[in-house]
Structure 1
Amino acid sequence: MPRIFDFGGREVERSVTVASLRALKGGGRHAAQVTAETAEEAGAAEAAGIEMVVCRAANVSRVREGSRRVFVTAALGFADVVTSDEILRTAFSAVTAGADAVITGRGLDTVRMLANEQIPVMGHLGFVPRKSTWVGSIRA
């Protein structure tokens, strides 16, 4: 299990890292990710061999109480953080609390802004119910 320093400066072990996730691309191997909002859910995910969890940014500390090893992605709530300053502040708070990355349903400018600050960021592909008006129906 890789040993790294997290964004809070703590030496930690992670089941996967950003580098190992990037190395998976095109290799046929996948990593599993589930939602965990509590310490109990994060602990259960780790015990089940799940490599990654996603949680709301406000719940990162709680999730880290349940697992120090799973890769945690903090969701930046679409309506919770609106301005660029709020997005950056929430993202920095999440990664210093123990998140390994953030996820956003916002546009490329937001992704670039976060990446320019060296914050690992995921976009969202697939079913986004709140944006169904853009595609004209509820579909993936």
Structure 2
Amino acid sequence: MNDKREFKVPDLSDSVTDISFISFDLPINKNKVDIVTENIFQITKNLKSCDEMTNLSKEYGNKKGKYIGKVLLKKLPNYFIEEIKKLNLYQPSKPIIADDGIYVTMICDNNKKLNQEYAIKEMIKNNIRTRSTKTLRERYLLDLNRKALIDVRI
């Protein structure tokens, strides 16, 4: 009876990453995507830090590039996840062609303890959001049922 209850906390540190990116517009002529992608690769291949990437995004690209910070990988599109998993710290990715542009990403920090903390906070936020949404949904359904019952009686 003197045993303490222990909670097993899953290791979520690999589900979070700290990233920065540069965004480029897609060329109007789809035949030039390969040429533009090669130019982007030449521009970004020598980047060594996220600060350099942020500064480069002010000169090149469509000015949407920036340091994002911590992000849950599952919230990113699959083509970003696949490319990010291949990267080492401070290594720019190959240009990623998406529907809305061409992106180059970089992992800025890999602190497993902070990543774990962030992932748990996000998990708790999602649980609270889901619970409150469910409660509101049930409350609104009850209100609708009451109003429908009153309307039928009148």
Measured against the shorter chain, the TM-score band is under 0.3
More helix by share: 2
Higher relative contact order (CA 8 A, sep 6+): 2
TM-score norm. by structure 1 comes to 0.23
TM-score norm. by structure 2 comes to 0.22
